[in-house]
Amino acid sequence: MTKKILIVLSEYGYWGEELLGPVATFDEQGYQSVFATPTGARARALPPSLDPGYIDPPLGRSVTTPEVAVAAKELDESSRLDNPISLAEWIPDRPYFSEPDYLRKIEAYNRELGNLDDDIKQFDALVIVGGSGPIVDLANNERLHELILAFLRADKPIVGECYGVAPLAFARDWEDRKSIIWGKHVTGHCKEYDYKDGTGFIGVDFNMGPPPYPLEYILRDATGPDGAYHGNVGKEVSVIVDYPFITARSTPDSFPAGEKLVEVLESGLRRFGF
């Protein structure tokens, strides 16, 4: 039976290869890729990610090849990304404690949220694509957090790439608020790879400068004393599998991340890279 993968993209810009890598791998495997964004707006690739001449400042080299840039642009311009699922229409928004009739509203919220466990039965895995866009609309998106928690309850694999790993650190049960990656081994965008200036987004004229938070520090704290963050600085690839999480550090890890998810689904891989 064909496997179905839910892929979440930022509306403020995703990194081209970080979508292409998993999707190309899934296509080769015969998997179906289904796309979602926070409000149902069509996602677009960050322009530098489609330019093989763009030199990534922290690495001092291009992070994509002409062939990958062409393929990523073709995917970005294809109809496949049209009409994504809207997380805002699918998943309810938790009411404020200060709202009138709060008890009835939180009961309704929990009833509606209960449908999510049934809704995701059609999917075999969740992928959160990286780039600078997730800083804006994915990292602290409570609807995405609830989706992650639903996949976690269902014991289904969850992939986070680059800054798409951030929602894994912030997705927490409302009651105990403990990190879901506590005790786990993960990777993600390391401090050495962070921009000092020029963190940009699609659809807004805004240069944030450096990222608003160093993801490495967040992940080091979120994994706790029995887990670990692995930057693997100086190594070309950094992908960690600590089931159900598959985490990828940055752009060069996009194809390997997709390949590791296939191994998880087809061969039962549970640990890799540490």
Tell me the residue type at 187.
T
Compute CA 165 distance to the chain's CA centroid, rounded to the nearest angstrom.
Answer: 5
The pLDDT assigned to 34 comes to 98
Closest CA to 19 of 89, 61, 78: 78
Mean pLDDT of 193-218: 93
Mean pLDDT of 220-243: 96
pLDDT digits (tens, 9 = 90+) for 4-21: 999 999 999 999 999 999
Angle at 118 between CA 14 and CA 246, to 5 degrees: 40
pLDDT digits (tens, 9 = 90+) for 63-108: 899 999 999 999 999 999 999 999 999 999 999 999 999 999 999 9
CA distance 186 to 227: 8
Mean pLDDT of 117-133: 98
CA distance 37 to 43: 7
pLDDT digits (tens, 9 = 90+) for 34-56: 999 999 999 999 999 999 999 99
